[in-house]
Structure 1
Amino acid sequence: MPGPFEGAAAPVALRELLVELNDLKRVRSAGRTGSVAERLFAQGWSALTGGADPEAVALEITAKTLAACRLCDLDDAFLAAAGLSEAAIGDVLVAGFEAVTPEVEADLRGRLRERLRERDNLVAGPLPGFVAALAQQPRAGVTCPGKPRILLEPPENHAEHCLMVAVYGVVLSPFYRADPTTVFLAAMAHHFHNAAMPDAGFTGEMLLGDHLGPIMARTTQWALDALEPPLRATIERARAVLPDDATAEGRAFHAADAIDRVLQIAQHLRAASLTMETVLGEMELVHAGPVKGFHDRVLKDMRIP
């Protein structure tokens, strides 16, 4: 696979997967708090504080996210509660995973698939306070110094953004020859400062001037202090790749971050440009079944759309 400076700067073959994954920031289910992405962010941190191996966490959360791309909340917990056997649960999860991952690098794809088959239970540890804080902290929207912000509702939150960048980073890591675990951990922790610091976007950061660096350092440290020393040191090492694109891991992270930021806005534009031709024709909203003919006549006679 070519490196980033031997041609393309990113693997376009993964575009459609990343677009589809982004919607997990907006998928919710009855009886569950927050979006799928928000809850997977919490699961990842719970596993890390529970002492799980970071590589196992990175693969587990990424595999679950990829399976959820089509299955949404038809996850292992629901399938078990609905009475499926362990083997049947694995079959369903892998079917969802296979439906969206043909372009994922083969070795990584195999490792992720195996996580869905094995589903080793990761011990759940205590959730640090920054997890809930990031889930409650909205992203700033589109900001530019000297110009009014553009707000698009509903906003994503920082937990959703961090989870998505982490999963994107793992999926992109083979292209950059990066260590996926380092990229995952760096992404999961890259907005630590926003657990306490409201997000005023690029505009607010520029208005803070020389105060920005010390404030970000202080608020980041507050989040780091919520972790036990061994995990804190692991996260600090991973975060060392964040400042630039000088490393393979830095490139994978920054590619994932930029893609997620733009796709978040693109989904608003996509929804605004949706047509009935797409909904009724391509997506078959009134789909095949024993009453489709009757449905079609009803809509025709009601002049809908």
Structure 2
Amino acid sequence: MIPVQTTHDDAPDALKGLFGEIGDLKRVRSAGRHGTVATRLFRAAWSELVAGAPLPEVARRITAQALAAARLGDIDRPLLIEAGLPAAEVNGVLCRAVEEISAPVPEPLRSALVSAIAVPGPGRPADLPRFVGQLEDQPRAGVTCPGRPRIVLEPAENHAEHCLVVAVYGVILAPRYGADPATVFLAALAHHFHNAGMPDSGFTGEMLLGDHLGPVMQHFVDDALGSLEPGLRRRVAEARECLADAETPEGRAFHAADVVDRVMEIAQHLRSASLTMDVVLGDMALVHDGPVKPFHDRVLAEMRIP
């Protein structure tokens, strides 16, 4: 089981940097692999759940994989094994990545996630519910407000990416609220079921639909739920009950994770737009130390770059 604790001693602002790195998995891609890391982790989570893997194990394993990927990108277990590394060395690399990034995560959850990254996931079925691909293809609305033009931010995240990142945040935030991490994880994975078939028009569209919003959303939620086998369908429906409000521990953990991702996604776009060369060359050491750095510096100075 994923440990649950009820302490509120850990300052949530310590998690901001960690969440920023996890959120960037919506933008990490590599050759020969479909979609972003976040998209593929969403697919992996549903693959394992459909195959019957225990929910707490799936929540722990996918969260640990997200933490490792936040530092390693697409250098994952299959790639390292393909490169010929022994299993023990592969585990060492992955565990170091999780340990390095997870300092703000409270114990005993942190140790549980470090342990989880060392356990390979189960084999996954080829067939997935239709809603998985639909959510991968469905872009988020951007910034909308009734009566105002939409602010479109490109590249737009998709709903699979958003749901996966909220699920991972939810597991990490669950101890703060005394919530069951597995329930929060599953609720987050399924909280945009309606957008599998319903394009996202944001707050503006929801207000214009008025009284029709509930029935329209429920139609597509029912369609997604109907594609699951009865046991998993029941578990997903139960987990989704916490979406209605923030009156339960699970509801608070989910809504905290959801609002953090919604706002930090916009912050990422603003951060990119305000990036300066001082940060790139100074703080980030784009031209980094090495035997040819003096030559690099001379070339840039001669060409007056930047």
For normalisation by structure 1, the TM-score amounts to 0.96
Equivalent-residue separation in structure 2 for 1:241 and 1:3 (angstroms): 21
Q: Structure 1: which 4+ aligned runs deviate by more than 4 Å? A: 1-4
Residue by residue over 1:97-153, the C-alpha shift from the partner in whole angstroms, topping out at 9 and shown as x without a partner, is: 11211110110011111111232x323133111001000000000000111110011
User: Aligned to 1:162, what secondary structure does the other structure show?
Assistant: helix
Aligned to 2:162: 161
Partners in 1 of 2:211 and 2:264 — Cα distance? 31
SS at match of 1:114: helix
Displacement of 1:290 in angstroms is 1.1
**Aligned letter for 2:124?**
A
CA distance in 1, matches of 2:272, 2:59: 31
The residue number in structure 1 matching 2:123 is 123
State how far apart, in whole Å, the 2-side matches of 1:249 and 1:203 are. Answer: 28
Q: Which amino acid aligns with 2:96?
A: A
Deviation at 1:76, TM superposition (A): 0.4
CA separation of 1:17 and 1:216: change in aligned 2, threshold 3 A: same
| SS class of match (1:41) | helix
1:9-24 matches, within 5 Å, as 11-24=12-25
How far apart are the structure 1 equivalents of 2:269 and 2:80? 32
| 1:48-71 deviation line (CA, Å, top 9, x unaligned) | 000100011000100000000110
1:82 positional shift: 0.7
- Structure 2 distance, partners of 1:96, 1:46, is 24
Aligned-partner residue type, residue 83 of structure 1 = G
* Structure 1 residue ranges without an equivalent (≥5): none
* Equivalent residue runs for 1:44-63 within 5 Å: 44-63=45-64
RMSD over aligned Cα atoms: 1.3
Q: Which residue of 2 aligns with 1:249?
A: 250
The equivalent of 1:41 in structure 2 is: 42
What is residue 100 of structure 1 aligned with on the other side? 101
Q: Which residue of structure 1 aligns with residue 149 of structure 2?
A: 148
Identity among equivalent pairs (%)? 59
Give 1:148's aligned amino acid: P
Question: Are 2:287 and 2:293, in contact at CA under 8 Å, matched by a contact in 1?
Answer: yes
Query: Which residue of the partner structure matches residue 26 of structure 1?
Result: 27
**More displaced, 14-23 or 187-196?**
14-23
Q: Secondary structure at the match of 2:243?
A: coil
Confirm or deny: 8 A CA contact 1:93 1:116 kept in the other structure.
Answer: yes
- The correspondence of residues 1-305 of structure 1 with structure 2, limited to 5 A, is 11-119=12-120, 121-125=121-125, 126-305=127-306
Residues 143-173 of structure 1 show CA distances to partners (whole Å, capped at 9, x for unaligned) of 0011111001110000000000000000111
3-state SS in 1 of match to 2:103: coil
CA contact (8 A) 1:51 1:123 kept: no
Per-residue deviation at 1:2?
7.3
Helix, strand or coil at the partner of 2:227: coil
* TM-score, normalising length: structure 2: 0.96
SS of equivalent to 1:142: coil
TM-fit CA distance, 1:3:
5.8
Shift of 1:95: 1.2
SS in 1 for 2:149: strand
CA contact (8 A) 1:52 1:123 kept: no
2:7/2:175 contact within 8 Å kept: no
Number of matched residues? 301
